Amino acid sequence: MLRLQAPFPQDLPMFFLSLGMLILFVLLFELLVRKFSISGFVLRKVLHFSLGIVWFFISEFFTTNFYPVLLALIFVIFNGANHFFGFLNIFHDRSWKNAQGEKELTSYGPILFPLAFLVLALFLWEEHVWILRTSILVAGVADSLAALVGSSMGKAHIEDLSKSRKTVEGSLTVFATSFLLLIACLFLFRTGFHEGLAAVPWFQLVALALLLALIVTAVEALISYGFDNFFIPLSVAYVLYVIDMGETGLLIRLLTGGLFALLLAVFSIKVKFLNNSGATATFLLGTTIFGVGGLEWTVPLLTFYLLSSVLSKLGKKRKAKFDLVFEKGSQRDAGQVYANGGIAWLIMIVYSLTGDPAYFFAYLGTLAAVQSDTWATEIGTMWPNPKARLITTMKPVPVGTSGGVSFPGTFGAFAGALLICASAILVQVDWVIGFGIMPSFLLIGFSGLLASLVDSFFGATIQAQYYDPVREKITERTHSYRNDGTVVKNRLIKGYQYVNNDMVNTLCALSGCALAFFFSQAM
């Protein structure tokens, strides 16, 4: 529960002492950068490491969360101002390069790390302060060590993962460090566990630490620009909170779901359904939905994933002529996983915290929407001699054009949505059976179909489309390649530059979610 407690007068001296020490640390490190030319990147990671330890112990010195929240808020504002105005060199070391001579990307980490502490302190200070302490310690120590090791000693670069350079050495460091810290914290704070973790044997706690270390490693590897400083502590805190407050047996289900998600991610890479970033995102998404949601939430997601992945591989020869039209190929990346499954992921998280079954219909609606969109595209381009029309004008357009609709594609969209509903009925989900089989088919089927038409509308109006001067075609791709490998920048001729296919797919998923949720409440 979100709560800012009243200030405790006796905490005021400790507040000023803590604030003064943190300011002193920052000024000392700034002096080292300016006078002794020590790397601002290295000192920033040392500061990040130190803050993780300081925030870990801070609850021991304060009675309520008022002053710790105020302390974090001060640094969020201060670091935010420094990010935009650049008055401290420690946070703006433009000269630093890693071992491969690559410059560091702009990082919002100094803003997001105290923000993560602020958010968690508002939710977890009283009965779950141990979760706050554990998640902040892991984020501060493991992430900073991974950055230092990866930048100085990392040799094996992991391809197709994130915009910042990720290495095997850095990922192994974050995994090993977070695993050890999590084991230590889980056994240290064992007396403060609630029902979900109170009677758990030691070997299950070790398994939980192993799974959480994998999650931390995946988040750190996948996210750039310092956003891992926010999402690592939130991910650890979410998993620990849900298990600790859940029923007995949830931990076993989560461990099983995490293992299944990991195997699915590895399988997806082997059969080239996903690249490295897509598989990593699928592991994170799958662990939450398979582990927390159980069979009822898992089967619809797997229905979408497996059927859509297989369908994308069919008719390769017929669909080959569209490869240079679409922004991305059939091997999905993290952006496509987020676009297709991100809304379902968020719905699952909200449900796990509220227990409201109405969110299950929203979940089916968003999966039906992305399945409808995928099936409309795949079947529309695979069908022999299809004819497409632009949804806004009904004028004929080449098949594969953003915003184009066809009869085979529309039929495929509706069929795909119905299969999502059928998968929930197959596993006898009580909420769907209680709602009625036929009403459920109509609700989910038309939610998916209408959402796919929303996708087509946005594709025809705001999605970026470019002119490829090499092949003299309209494409979704920002760049093209000549036969000699030369890169050519395509010219924007329609829509907005930042509205790509992933964003349109996300709007489609949101539409299906909203339609299913609204009509399930109205009917």
- Of 521 and 446, the structure prediction assigns the larger pLDDT to 446
What integer pLDDT is reported at residue 440 of this predicted model?
Answer: 93
Separation of alpha carbons 356 and 364, rounded Å: 14
- Of 103 and 420, the structure prediction assigns the larger pLDDT to 420
Cα pseudo-dihedral 211, 216, 220, 225, rounded to 10: 140
Residues 6+ apart with CB under 8 A from 250: 196, 242, 243, 292
Highest mean pLDDT (candidates 104-113, 282-291, 482-491): 282-291
* Percent of the chain surpassing pLDDT 70: 92
Out of 89-93, 369-373, 436-440, 509-513, pick the least confident: 89-93
What integer pLDDT is reported at residue 499 of this predicted model?
Answer: 86
Cα pseudo-dihedral 131, 133, 139, 145, rounded to 10: -140
Separation of alpha carbons 460 and 3, rounded Å: 45
- Indicate left, alpha or beta for 353 from its phi (over 0: left) and psi (-120 to 50: alpha): alpha
What integer pLDDT is reported at residue 98 of this predicted model?
Answer: 47
pLDDT, tens digit (0-9, with 9 covering 90-100), for 319-363: 445 444 444 455 678 888 888 889 999 999 999 888 888 899 999
Q: Mean pLDDT across the stretch 216-244?
A: 92
What integer pLDDT is reported at residue 323 of this predicted model?
Answer: 47
Q: Mean pLDDT across the stretch 5-9?
A: 91
Check whether 492 has a pLDDT greater than 80.
Answer: yes
Q: Could you tell me the pLDDT band of residue 516, with boundaries at 50, 70 and 90?
A: very high
377 CB neighbour count, 10 Å cutoff: 27
DSSP one-letter code for 292: I
The dihedrals phi and psi of 4, each to the nearest 5 degrees, come to -105, 115
What integer pLDDT is reported at residue 103 of this predicted model?
Answer: 54
Q: Mean pLDDT across the stretch 87-93?
A: 72
The residues facing 129 across adjacent strands are none
User: 398: which 2 tokens?
Assistant: 């080449």
First vs last Cα of the chain: how many Å apart? 32
What integer pLDDT is reported at residue 92 of this predicted model?
Answer: 64
- Of 406 and 234, the structure prediction assigns the larger pLDDT to 234
Specify the pTM. 0.87
What integer pLDDT is reported at residue 95 of this predicted model?
Answer: 45
